[in-house]
Structure 1
Amino acid sequence: MTSRKIPEIFTIESLRLRDEDDASQEGQLLSKILHLSGKKRTKYFYIRTKRELEEIIDIFEDSNYRYLHLSCHADKAGIATTFDDISYAELGEMLRPCLEDRRVFVSACQMANDVCAKALLKNTGCYSLVGPVKKINFDDAAAFWITFYHLMFKTDGRSMKHRNVEFYVKNYRLCFKNQ
């Protein structure tokens, strides 16, 4: 039996060095706004390497938080931390033990694709993967996620129902994959 998950956002972010200089930390901004809107237990971690990602995933698993938000660079083959590339198969292996009864939200270009969905949804117990299938702009992504989470938690602060997630995602043209 799984323990009850906490309806909070756990954000992991990694950017290129030049993005760090531009103060383009969308995940950090999102975390601050969620905190201001009443989600006081929101967690935010900035990482630069695959090894750090593995460590923070362990913290996510132990946190029992229900929602994982990944903010990074990606393409159809995998994601990038500041210094490492990670295939979707590798990411799936890292996350597989801790996705049961959780949702994954990604703010990364082209990340919500079939390869990533297979790696994160197949035999993991993960409820859904939500994110862009195309390239995105920082300002558009930040505005979308702030609006999405605000509406989701305003609708129900204790859970994200499938129908509500799907409704808001379809209205904003993101990709929604479920198990």
Structure 2
Amino acid sequence: MRRFEGQLAVITASTAGIGLSIAERFASEGALVVISSRKQKNVDEALEKLKGTGKVKGIVCAVNNKEHRQQLFHFATTVAFPELEFRKIDVLVSNAACSPYFGETLQTPERAFDKLFEVNVKATFFLIAEAQNFLTDGASILIISSYLAFNPSSPIGIYGVTKTALLGLTKVLANELGQRKIRVR
């Protein structure tokens, strides 16, 4: 059974690792999938790997760049699958994250601290905020966190703290968007 037949799924940071596996699964389940990465080379390589899995298109998107996020949603809903008229998004997966520092937590450089919160928390928040007008009624939003959200620890303590923040964001958005029949997990 293809559970996502004809549904549109947009997945950030989906050219390797967990994101690529998520994209592959959605495509194999019949979804129209839009993958993204910060680098065109990564998008091209992932599209090649996913060839034959299903309908998959890709675009460059650094999630901490507002213009890129806007281009992602425009591409997904109007360009990626031209055989369809304007199409709303059924599933949004926020998978992008970074971890630029390894070491003692209180030794985290300010620049690394800012980057961690910018990409892991702020970009997820604005990705979802900007996606609202592109989501179907009954859409699902999946925010990828980590087991470190429950027990942040060195050598990537602040990374874990950002993942803890994502759990809080998931809870508040599940309540607020749930009133609009949008699931947030």
TM-score range, shorter chain: 0.3 to 0.5
* Larger fraction in strand: 1
Tell which has more relative contact order, 1 or 2 (C-alpha 8 A, sep 6+): 1
* Larger fraction in helix: 2
